[in-house]
Amino acid sequence: MAKQQQRTEVVPFQGSAPLVDSSRNSPLSTNVSAEERLQFAAEAANLGTWDLVLPSNELHWCSRCKEIFGIAPDSSFYYEHFLERVHPEDRSRVDAVVKQSIDPRGPGTYDIEYRIVQPGGDIRWIAASGKAYFGDFGGEVRAFRFLGTLLDCTGQKRAQELLIQSEKLAVTGRLAAAIAHEIKNPLDAVGNLLYLLRTETSEQVRTQYLDMASAELARA
């Protein structure tokens, strides 16, 4: 669903551009205690925090982010390294959403789910959100900071997949049983079960179909 574009106010760049909130048009606080409270809240929620500096593409990650992505705590990291860790099937989509978010004509916000591949090959699901901050650099408006959080939601995703698979097993089982029950000729029932077998990828369901077909053949 497309998000409503927000108008971004900018200020003249004078040595170091203040962070301009793209939704509330207010500078970010430089109060250290406020930043510490924010970090504490993020850690309590098991969130990782990240800060992309533009245009250098240097990516500052908290320890939780580095733990999720499987990188050393003292490693330097850039946006290009982040993309390399994103699952190949999700990489182009993630890159496109980031570029749209930091475009002055874009929404200025970021909200996405994607997969990453850890160094050992483990695949994790990530839910990330963020916001871009813009400044006026000699008449050119561009993003210079992109900040946000991320959460490892792999457990939730796997639970959803198990629920979907369980529901699919129940539905296909009822369908196969109905076919076998309503067709008086057992050989016709076997033919329909074999058709379902050819289109099914789940080994558990395929075994179920084979058992039912065997029962129909025994009845023939």
Q: What is the pLDDT of residues 39-92, one digit of tens each?
A: 655 565 578 899 999 999 999 998 899 999 999 988 888 999 999 999 999 999
Interval 123-151 mean pLDDT: 93
Residues paired with 109 in a beta bridge: 131
- According to DSSP, the residues that pair with 71 across neighbouring strands are none
Return the closest-CA partner of residue 39 out of 31, 51, 48. 48
174-185 mean pLDDT = 59
CATH number for the domain running over 32-152: 3.30.450.20
pTM: 0.59
CB burial class (10 A; 0-12, 13-18, 19+) of residue 50? buried
Mean pLDDT (the chain) is 76
Listed residue (200, 194, 185) closest to 213, CA to CA: 194
Instruction: Give the model's confidence band at 13: pLDDT under 50 very low, under 70 low, under 90 confident, else very high.
Output: very low
Q: Where are the alpha helices (DSSP H) in the chain?
A: 32-44, 63-69, 79-85, 88-101, 154-182, 186-199, 203-219
Residue 164 to residue 12: CA distance in whole angstroms: 52
Q: How far apart are the C-alpha atoms of 17 and 28, rounded to whole Å?
A: 11
Helix (H) or strand (E) holding 151: strand 140-152
Using the structure block, give the residue that is written with the tokens 């916000």. Answer: 109
Domain boundaries, the chain: 32-152, 158-219
CA distances, 71 to each of 65, 76, 121, 147 (Å): 9, 10, 13, 20
Give the span between the Cα atoms of 147 and 138, in whole angstroms: 23
- Could you tell me which residue, 215 or 28, shows the higher pLDDT? 215
Rounded Cα distance between 134 and 7, Å, is 11
CB contact set of 31 (below 8 Å; sequence gap of 6+): none
